[in-house]
Structure 1
């Protein structure tokens, strides 16, 4: 396992982590509503969820998906249903005052709850297993030492959690939050519509 291969994995995965998706969208909304600290705990969960998919790919889940496409379809259907449920709750409660909003808010969730929400949101999309399977087949030799897999998991967690912390920081800025408070109903429905679109895309592709 060479340093060049690890660097390649880092940048390829960083690009994937930075692409807009349900986890990034939820990190943005959580930090807007609840502040940076809550967004960071959610980001930890997102990073852990990415590591779960990476480990699954290491054990051949991507190959299993190719051999049994129905399994991938079922997982995508379940994940899409979860994302559509979150989108429905966002849209429905968009006009509500801040204090009576979704049950997913940090007001009702502790740190562990936020971490769990991040993990579940990340696991709602099974496509990363295919991504990691491709990356490992391309860059990781079959005889790679155990430490190399540990480094790769560290890269995965750092990229996913780190990028979502950056997103949380941007959306927790006071100016950004003031814009959100002034346009809460509109923005919550935009977030809901985007999340619904991502859920439908997951189900149909």
Structure 2
């Protein structure tokens, strides 16, 4: 992959990375509820999922999913339902009583659970499959070995995804002051839950 082509790929890919998609909304919510460190830990799940999808694409299996209506539909519905489930749980979650001495405390969460959430949302997102099967090939050079090109684009995409993860996690952390009261927690839980449910609905209805 030439330097000129890579310089074209980077800004185009980063534009996709920073879109307010399901994983970015989840990272923002995690930063809000659990703090920056947990949000970043959770991001390991999405990075693992995207790495798997890139590998599948590079070996040709991603192309099968992108052309199979049934597989694509089932994957899309699974991801949409999971997002709605997460949003519903968040909407129904009860705010915790706070005090002057505890208003800066962040909620506790299992690192394994938060990583699993990010992984499942990413691995079942058909938009990610389309990015790797439709967007990446636009930058491939036909008479050059495919695997090295996919390796460069894939590693670049993962680095850019880490930057997007940090941006959204920090953004969520900056909103933590809104959860210092029970009323604030309820508003943010329902707002975040609605965003996740909306993301799931849009994912299910997308073509």
Q: SS in structure 2 opposite 1:141?
A: coil
Deviation at 1:98, TM superposition (A): 6.9
Q: Are 1:5 and 2:5 matched, yes or no?
A: yes
Q: Are 1:109 and 2:110 matched, yes or no?
A: yes
For 1:157 and 1:81, the matched residues in 2 are separated by: 26
What TM-score results when the alignment is normalised by the length of structure 1? Answer: 0.85
1:40 — aligned with what? 40
Q: Which has the larger radius of gyration?
A: 2
Q: Structure 2 vs 1, CA of residues 146 and 64 (structure 1 numbering), >3 Å: closer, same or farther?
A: closer
2:176 — aligned with what? 177
Q: SS in structure 2 opposite 1:185?
A: helix
Q: Structure 2 vs 1, CA of residues 202 and 35 (structure 1 numbering), >3 Å: closer, same or farther?
A: same
1:96 — aligned with what? 95
1:164 — aligned with what? 165
Contact in 2 for aligned 1:39/1:168 (Cα 8 Å):
yes
For 1:97 and 1:77, the matched residues in 2 are separated by: 33
Q: SS in structure 1 opposite 2:187?
A: helix
Q: Deviations over 1:147-177 (max 9, x none)?
A: 433222211211112211122123223xx21
For 1:165 and 1:98, the matched residues in 2 are separated by: 29
1:188 — aligned with what? 189
Q: Structure 2 vs 1, CA of residues 113 and 151 (structure 1 numbering), >3 Å: closer, same or farther?
A: farther
Q: Structure 2 vs 1, CA of residues 138 and 156 (structure 1 numbering), >3 Å: closer, same or farther?
A: same
Q: Are 1:121 and 2:121 matched, yes or no?
A: yes
- Root mean square deviation, CA, Å: 2.2
Contact in 2 for aligned 1:58/1:136 (Cα 8 Å):
no
Q: Structure 2 vs 1, CA of residues 2 and 98 (structure 1 numbering), >3 Å: closer, same or farther?
A: farther
1:102 — aligned with what? none
Q: Are 1:203 and 2:181 matched, yes or no?
A: no
Deviation at 1:57, TM superposition (A): 2.1
What TM-score results when the alignment is normalised by the length of structure 2? Answer: 0.84
Deviation at 1:9, TM superposition (A): 2.1
Q: Structure 2 vs 1, CA of residues 21 and 181 (structure 1 numbering), >3 Å: closer, same or farther?
A: farther
For 1:179 and 1:106, the matched residues in 2 are separated by: 14
Q: SS in structure 2 opposite 1:15?
A: helix
Contact in 1 for aligned 2:58/2:147 (Cα 8 Å):
no
* Unmatched runs of 5 consecutive residues or more in structure 2: 99-105
Q: Are 1:28 and 2:28 matched, yes or no?
A: yes
Contact in 2 for aligned 1:79/1:124 (Cα 8 Å):
yes
Deviation at 1:62, TM superposition (A): 4.5
Deviation at 1:192, TM superposition (A): 1.0
1:151 — aligned with what? 152
* Unmatched runs of 5 consecutive residues or more in structure 1: 100-104
